[in-house]
Structure 1
Amino acid sequence: MITQLTLVNFKAFRRLELPMGPLTLLTGLNSSGKSSVLQALALLRQSFGPDRTTSPEGGLLLNGELVEMGTARDLLHDDFGPADDLLATGAPVVGFVVEADNLPSRFIARYDLGQPDEDVMEAYDFPAFRSLLREPFQYLHADRITPAVTYPRSRQIAIDRGFLGVRGEHTVNYLRHNAEREIPDGPLRHPGATSPQLLDQTVAWMQELCPGVNLQTSAIEGTDFVRLSYGFGGTAGINATRRRRPTNVGFGLTYALPIVVACLTATPESLILLENPEAHLHPKGQSRMAALISAAAATGAQLVVETHSDHVLNGVRLAVKRGGLRPDDAVIHFFRGNGSGAEVISPRVDKDGMLAQWPEGFFDEWENLLDQLLD
């Protein structure tokens, strides 16, 4: 498990040392550096992980399946500084130090002043972190799948690799193939599900977001596509026998489905990166999504979550108060710009779910608006 990530001369950060835990929440203003943390981890996986299609010795791969970072000049911090502690070289470098199990691993990419528009950077790495890069991995972007009539059916990606896709586009095929896989007894197993099998567990957690909903997945014979449909169990006056395609249901359920499946299939070795899991969900759904994310972390998986939702934050705090997570397992970072880059404030959570500090700008807009209404 990663306990600290250090970024050097990377995008908004000249140097950032970021403690991490089983569940790390990244919050803060737009364009303050939150996504850079997820991108850094995805970039290392893309460049040195098992799924790279070319030799890892090819360097830091800026554009690939997981992230599209642009060119070397897009990576290098505007006010870059020396990094002799990483690599003694006269050229600028972009560096990453990943500390896992008290063992730091360094990844250094050299910036070629003569070729700033290249999308592969010469890289030097120390292999201690390579084993972690081979562990189960999911990265779900904020731009996820939307309701559609069909979804792709790729055995290599969804089944052989177990990857849901950065947009969650392979979730339906993964769920179809692994429908009978059992979720181990523990925090992730929903007590209200009809069975411990993945499909039934997924339905139970989706019902936390939309009561009465159920799912069906099926292959479309003779094609490279699969189909998803929803039923509603007769709730809200809807005919229980009629299946509905996602395009007639709305964004929320389909948008949330990859997050639910990624969390349910987490293992103690998994690293899961999530952007805005609350998107298109109502407040109660957002807090229940936080409960699922906390349960995945409680199984031993590591989740790094970017969120703009106070309901997600409070759902994690509630998980700590109820004993589902230890206080030290929930690490919260608040990013805000300081004029020349970004700074990070890290409020600690106590055993009652309370925060040790509440910095200005940290989920305080409700109070700000209430003060104006009462003025």
Structure 2
Amino acid sequence: MLESLTLTNFKAFAHQELRLAPFTLLTGLNSSGKSSVLQSLALLRQSYESGDLAPVGSREPGLLLNDELVQLGTGRDVRHESYDEAGPHIALAVRGDGVKAQWTARYEQEADHLKLFQNGKGGENRSGLSRDPIALLPTLFGPGFQYLKADRVSPQVSYPRSHHAVTTRGFLGAHGEHTVNYLRINQDEPVVGKRLRISDAHPVGLLGQTQAWMQKLCPGVNLKAEDIADTDTVRLSYSFGSGALGSNSYRPTNVGFGLTYVLPIVVACLSARPGTLILLENPEAHLHPQGQTWMAYLASAAAASGAQIIMETHSDHVLNGLRLRVKQGTLHSDDTAVHYFRRKELTSEVVNPVIGPDGRLSEWPEGFFDEWENSLDQLLD
């Protein structure tokens, strides 16, 4: 499991260390650095998968800023505003899985491949590049990694069918575009974590449990994922009810936007294995409040089953769902971390409210999910 992340001169942060837990919740004002935390981990994963983090032969190791997971631009787009050539370089450090690894990159204004210092030249680099990164940090670089962005795939008539993405990599796509094909291929695979099996009335396979969780968001909904013959695409359809009272099948384009938008989140959590890392941006998007609370229940169950969840959210319903699961004993309070981000001059600062065993928070900083209280005060004035 990853235990901490330290960012130096990276985007919104001059220097910031964050504690990571089995379930880490990132919240705060817009443009305060929440997404930068997820992007830093995705950047390391992306650079590893492209062969840039630990290259073979004469290639120089570096951070690849633009590829499948993140598109961050050039050096000047990721450099913190107060960066000084004489000061610390851009650095990402991760502690966990029994090691501490740090990658220190040379700033180049127009480059989208930032070269890494090695052997202490120009800045310490303790990444152990001579070793297999998977052996160093299996949580970050091993199989099962998922990163689902806020701009997930929308309802469509068909979705891509990629054998490599689903079967070889087990990847849902950064936008969830491979989710339907993943569900089609793995629909009978049993969901591993018992806490993730929401109902014994449903089959223990991925499709059955996906339907069970989706029915918490939309009662009575059923799913079907199938290939389209002689094409490189697959089809998703929804129906409602069962038996004589069952409806016809509907295309995703004729069903509420929120169902298709949340489907990748549900599949990612249900298919997670112990020791895998899931990065989630705004999973509550397009969900009604009850659905947002159940989204927190689902992510809590995945964390309790051994996966590591790092989630960015703007929803107090998600926060309260996590607090309830702590109080109910699904997660230990020590297995949670809450970070509230806010801008302070040229950098971002982070406040860390702690969830106690009773689900209560140690503090409520100004601006931390207090809008309802502020509005209520005005209504009662």
TM bucket by the smaller chain?
over 0.9
Structure 1 residue matching 2:5: 3-state secondary structure:
strand
Is the alpha carbon distance of 1:80 and 1:230 closer, same or farther for their aligned partners in structure 2, counting shifts above 3 Å?
same
1:193 Cα shift? 4.3
**Aligned CA distance change for structure 1 residues 276 and 5 (closer, same or farther; 3 Å):** same
Distance in 2 of aligned mates of 1:195 and 1:313: 30
CA RMSD of aligned residues (A): 1.8
Partner of 1:277: helix, strand, or coil? coil
Task: Give 1:72's aligned amino acid.
Answer: G
Greater shift, 19-28 or 226-235, is seen at 226-235
Aligned to 1:108: 104
Residue in 1 that maps onto 2:112: 119
Structure 2 unpaired stretches of 5+: 56-60, 118-124
The residue aligned with 2:185 is: 177
Q: 2:193 & 2:28 partners in 1: Cα distance? A: 35
Question: Contact 1:24 / 1:331 at 8 angstroms: preserved in 2?
Answer: yes
Task: Give, in angstroms, the shift of residue 118 of structure 1.
Answer: 1.0
Q: Find the counterpart in structure 2 of residue 230 from structure 1.
A: 238
Matched, 1:218 2:253: no
Q: Give structure 1 stretches of 5+ with no counterpart.
A: 83-89
Q: CA 1:54–1:11 in structure 2 vs 1: closer, same or farther (change >3 Å)? A: closer
Question: Could you say which residue in structure 2 is the equivalent of 1:362?
Answer: 368
Identity in percent: 56
Separation in 2 of the partners of 1:290 and 1:300? 16
8 Å contact 1:139–1:165 — kept in the other structure?
yes
| Aligned counterparts of 2:24 and 2:110: Cα–Cα separation in 1 | 33
Task: Select 1:267's aligned residue among 258, 269, 273.
Answer: 273
Contact persistence 1:217–1:227 (CA under 8 A)? yes
**Are the structure 2 counterparts of residues 253 and 56 from structure 1 closer, same or farther at C-alpha, using a change threshold of 3 Å?**
same
Letter in 2 for 1:343: E
Query: Which of 320, 328, 331 in structure 1 is aligned with 2:326?
Result: 320
TM-score normalized by the length of structure 2: 0.91
Shift in Å at residue 103 of structure 1? 2.2
| Superposition map of 1:37-56 within 5 A | 37-48=37-48, 51-52=49-50, 56=54
Instruction: Identify the residue that residue 256 of structure 2 maps to in structure 1.
Output: 250
The answer on whether the counterparts of 1:347 and 1:357 sit within 8 Å (CA) in structure 2 is yes
The ranges of structure 1 where at least 4 consecutive aligned residues each deviate by more than 2 angstroms after the TM superposition are 53-58, 127-132
CA positional deviation for 1:136: 1.8
For residue 106 of structure 2, what is the amino acid of its counterpart?
R
Q: Deviations over 1:264-320 (max 9, x none)?
A: 011112100000000000000000010000000001111100000000000000000
> What number of residue pairs does the alignment pair up?
361
Name which of structure 1's ranges 97-106 and 242-251 shifts more when overlaid on structure 2.
97-106
User: How far apart in 1 are the matches of 2:24 and 2:328?
Assistant: 18
Aligned residue in 1 for 2:346: 340
Q: What is the 5 A alignment of 1:5-44?
A: 5-44=5-44
SS in 1 for 2:364: coil
Give 1:348 deviation, angstroms. Answer: 0.4
Going from structure 1 to structure 2, the CA distance change for 1:5 and 1:210 (only over 3 Å counts) comes to same
Give the TM-score, by structure 1 length: 0.93
The residue identity in structure 2 corresponding to 1:137 is F
Indicate conservation of the 8 Å contact 1:92/1:110, yes or no.
Answer: no
1:173: how far off? 0.1
1:193/1:32 Cα in 2 relative to 1: closer, same or farther (>3 Å)?
farther
The yes-or-no answer on 1:281 pairing with 2:287 is: yes
Local SS of the residue matching 1:187: helix
Are the equivalent residues in 1 in contact too, given 2:91–2:104 (CA < 8 A)?
yes
Q: What is the aligned partner in structure 2 of residue 3 from structure 1?
A: 3
What is the distance in 2 between the residues matched to 1:184 and 1:296? 10
